[in-house]
Amino acid sequence: MVTDDDLHYMRLRFTEYAETDSQSDPDKADRGIMPSTDGQTRLAQLLSTELTTYGLTDNTVDQNGYLRAVIPASKGMESVPPFGLCAHLDTASDAPGTNVKALHHTNWDGSPITLPSGLVLDPATDPELAACVGHTIITSDGTTLLGADDKAGIAAIMALTLKLLKNPSIPHGPIEILFTPDEETGHGMDKVPLDRLISKAFYTVDGGAVGEIEAECFNAWKCQLTFTGKAAHLGSARGKMISAVSMASFFVSSLPPQESPETTDGYEGYFCPLEISGTVENAHCTVFLRDFETEGMNRRLERIDALAEAVRARFPGGTVTLEKTRQYLNMKDKLRAEPHVLERLEKAATRAGVAVIKKPIRGGTDGSRLTEMGIPTPNIFTGGHNYHSRSEWASIEQMGKTVETLIQLAIIWGEDHVQVQN
């Protein structure tokens, strides 16, 4: 169903989305400012205008940066229950994200891709890239990330919308669209207009390699520690000075190195010291905790308490304060309670000729939070790879497979409703 013209459209639209700066600001988002950057609003408005040109006038961008729209049902399918598709507007702050220049490597021949920055994408060390010979590969110039996370998802949803509106013979019920701000900061669902959502199930279009379907994720907590010391002249500091920098360093060095993001994979959890800063008198540290099991997370939280106490014992007179914040929960159990949501997605991928790969998300999505709020929301692939880095890339052909899967998903939701009615 996805034609060369559709792929060409996605290629052009994805490029414009990628080159629209929408990197979020974690500090502002932590202070409740949403969207945390003006670029996200500009992208939302660009998408809203685009939807309007398609004839989809039922779309709005609210004061918090959420774009919501509804693709109307095809004729005779008005009674089919709606489902939703979600993607996020922002890009991560882990690598530079301003002045993105999207480069097209058409009909890629399989040789290493050398970017203008000198960065090399080598298929010999990237098997997912090696599997895409003959595809159109899009990269940045190597000085920034690309933004396929999640502009590949946005491009797929926009392509689906245009496809359905131009082809009324494709049978489908109403489909709700939600583009969200500040997902990368962990605040993507903080101000979601939940009372306006009509769908009882959603799908985040925010995954990676073709075929990957994700129905479980980490339990996630953030721990923020403040270390307070005592300043003194360095020449006479003995017995007087308490260094908050040393306290923070002692804490971080006490975290188990074998349980860090760079030493774990699969279902292994970790401690991640994400930020550290300070002076002799005051130092601060942010640590992310991740675990797929509730009991494992409880043990990690207890470990943080124990390490904070060890710092207090090691540095008498210094103080340690600890603030713990739950970010999101594993969506596994709630999705199991609504098995049809995932079953329809897997069936759709199979119909689209995609081999389903089930794997856990080593992170979280807006779907994690939506599921926690009572709307089951598994995650689907987009064709993006190497997220949050200057070596990020995307395959247009894999984006096309995402659209094929979404078309089949829409058809299957209608078919299943008709079967139940009969």
Instruction: Report the sign of the C-alpha dihedral through residues 120, 122, 125, 131, in that order.
Output: positive
The Cβ of residue 279 has, within 10 Å, a number of other Cβ atoms equal to 11
Give the start-end residues of each E strand in 194-309.
Answer: 202-205, 212-214, 219-228, 270-278, 282-291
- Of these residues, 6, 21, 25, 90, which one is catalytic? 90
Active site residue 183: yes
Q: Exactly one of 21, 25, 150, 183 is catalytic; which is it?
A: 183
Is residue 193 reached through a cis peptide bond, with omega within 30 degrees of 0 on the bond before it?
no
Q: What is the residue whose two structure tokens read 């690598």?
A: 95
Supply φ then ψ for residue 364, to 5 degrees. Answer: -150, 170
Q: The sheet that has 282-291: what strands, in order across it?
A: 270-278, 282-291, 219-228, 319-328
What does the chain come to in residues?
Answer: 422
**What percentage of the chain's residues is helix, strand, coil (to nearest 5)?**
35, 20, 40
C-beta separation of 378 from 203 below 8 A: yes
DSSP state for residue 74 in the 8-state scheme: P
**Residues acting as catalytic residues:** 90, 183
